[in-house]
Structure 1
Amino acid sequence: MSRPLTPVALTVLRMLSDGPMHPYEMQQRIRQYAYDRSVKITHGSLYHSVERLAQGCLIEPVETARSGRRPERTVYAITDQGREVAQQRMAELLAEPAEEFPLLGTALAFIDLLPEDEVARQLRRREMRLEASLAADQAVYEALRKRGLERYKLIDHELVMARKKAELDLVRDLAADLESGRLTFIDDKEDS
């Protein structure tokens, strides 16, 4: 594969590093371990990634079976090349910061398109939603820990929660600054 592994492809390789399985089983485990909270995975994207990885010889079919009236299912295993490519991609992802462009950044860049009081009102709405989302994330995290998942399998959840906490702090501060008048959309230009 000449292109870097997508997050979905890396997820497939991660699943298969535990042992051979078919895509439906991968999908179930992804939900079970809440990997879908860190990687956007759809049914179609999962199957497309499996096809691409097989074409690239990073995974290989090891058996095709049918159980009762269910459709045939192909079980895949990771190849040595697949394991190597996954490890290389992981090293890159951990070592190299990537430019990400969250939509909140776009909104903050153009914040003065709305009146200050409306911005404060919308930021307070976001604050409430972030608080609820963070509480839900914490509940999922604690439930997974109680089920016996080791912390190293949940570090992605810790990152999500840390980012939300940082965003929540920023949103609260901006809303408070707008409400108090410490932040205005008036330029401090002096007439010469």
Structure 2
Amino acid sequence: MEPIFRRSPLALAILGLLENGPLHPYGIQRLIKQWGKDQVVNVGQRTSLYRMIVRLEEAGLIAVGDTERDERYPERTTYQLTDRGRAASRAWLAEIVSTPRNEFPEFPAALSFIMLLTPEAAAGLFEERREQLTRRIDSLDADLASEYEGAPVPRVVLVETEYQKAITVAELHWIDGLLDDLRSGALSWEAALRPSQTTIDQAMA
């Protein structure tokens, strides 16, 4: 029975990078960082990358290639994309690009329990987040204006950065509106969310 492989951003990145030819794990990790893909792909520690490579090989999506030998480095095993891996990456791309998915990020989960803080404390934390969002937009703008060998980086290489900026700008505008409401008192919850005895009894039933 063939192993069932669950896709992930890291798996997609590995398959995508191997489109250009065989690579060893260090080369894959270096390209992920060099091409800025670490902004959208959580590589984590090198062991995470190696574990993912092993899983992809076991699933038949990549295969062991040659062994690189260089007196300056230990022997390095290269990996190459298989036909199955190429087909899988195309299928993943088609589904991910065409179909919105609830990915359960942490921030909305925290917002769902913001009433555990006072409105004043929440406002202070939102102000901190606003400052960090502003700095992130500046960083993304710098990435979008980057050059390679004296020429602008092709837009297609930066579309994920464009998306990140659009999402970050939208969040910044939303935070601004939320802060305005908190400061004016239009948004408050301390009195409204005091649980009644009936609510408590229902939860314990």
Instruction: Give the structure-1-normalised TM-score.
Output: 0.90
C-alpha distance in 1, partners of 2:103/2:25?
Answer: 29
Count of matched residue positions in the alignment of Structure 1 and Structure 2 = 188
C-alpha distance in 1, partners of 2:77/2:192?
Answer: 63
Task: Read off the aligned partner of 1:150 and give its amino acid letter.
Answer: P
Contact 1:64 1:75 in 2 (8 A): yes
Task: Return the match for 1:70 from 73, 76, 85.
Answer: 73
C-alpha distance in 2, partners of 1:81/1:148?
Answer: 34
Contact 2:146 2:153 in 1 (8 A): no
Contact 1:4 1:89 in 2 (8 A): no
C-alpha distance in 1, partners of 2:72/2:144?
Answer: 37
Mean Cα deviation higher: 144-153 or 26-35 = 144-153
- Provide the residue aligned with 2:85 in structure 1: 82
- Provide the residue aligned with 2:162 in structure 1: 158
C-alpha distance in 2, partners of 1:58/1:129?
Answer: 39
Q: CA deviation at 1:90?
A: 0.9
Contact 1:33 1:144 in 2 (8 A): no
C-alpha distance in 2, partners of 1:27/1:36?
Answer: 9
SS of the residue corresponding to residue 61 of structure 1 reads strand
Residues 166 and 5 from structure 1, CA distance in 2 versus in 1: closer, same or farther, beyond 3 angstroms? same
C-alpha distance in 1, partners of 2:4/2:71?
Answer: 39
Q: CA deviation at 1:91?
A: 0.8
1:22-41: CA deviation from partner (whole Å, max 9, x where unpaired): 11111111111100000101
Moved over 3 A (4+): 144-148
SS of the residue corresponding to residue 176 of structure 1 reads helix
Q: CA deviation at 1:129?
A: 1.0
- Provide the residue aligned with 2:183 in structure 1: 179
Task: Read off the aligned partner of 1:143 and give its amino acid letter.
Answer: S
C-alpha distance in 2, partners of 1:140/1:150?
Answer: 12
- Provide the residue aligned with 2:11 in structure 1: 9
SS of the residue corresponding to residue 72 of structure 1 reads strand
Task: Read off the aligned partner of 1:187 and give its amino acid letter.
Answer: A
Contact 1:130 1:168 in 2 (8 A): yes
C-alpha distance in 1, partners of 2:77/2:151?
Answer: 29
Please, what is the CA RMSD of the aligned residues?
1.8
1:42-101: CA deviation from partner (whole Å, max 9, x where unpaired): 212211111111122211122002211411101111011110011111111112211122
- Provide the residue aligned with 1:117 in structure 2: 120
Instruction: Give the structure-2-normalised TM-score.
Output: 0.85
**Which structure 1 segments of 5+ residues have no match?**
none
C-alpha distance in 2, partners of 1:49/1:8?
Answer: 8
SS of the residue corresponding to residue 57 of structure 1 reads coil
C-alpha distance in 2, partners of 1:27/1:66?
Answer: 19
Task: Read off the aligned partner of 1:22 and give its amino acid letter.
Answer: H
Mean Cα deviation higher: 64-73 or 147-156 = 147-156
Contact 1:63 1:75 in 2 (8 A): yes
C-alpha distance in 1, partners of 2:52/2:151?
Answer: 29
Task: Read off the aligned partner of 1:180 and give its amino acid letter.
Answer: S
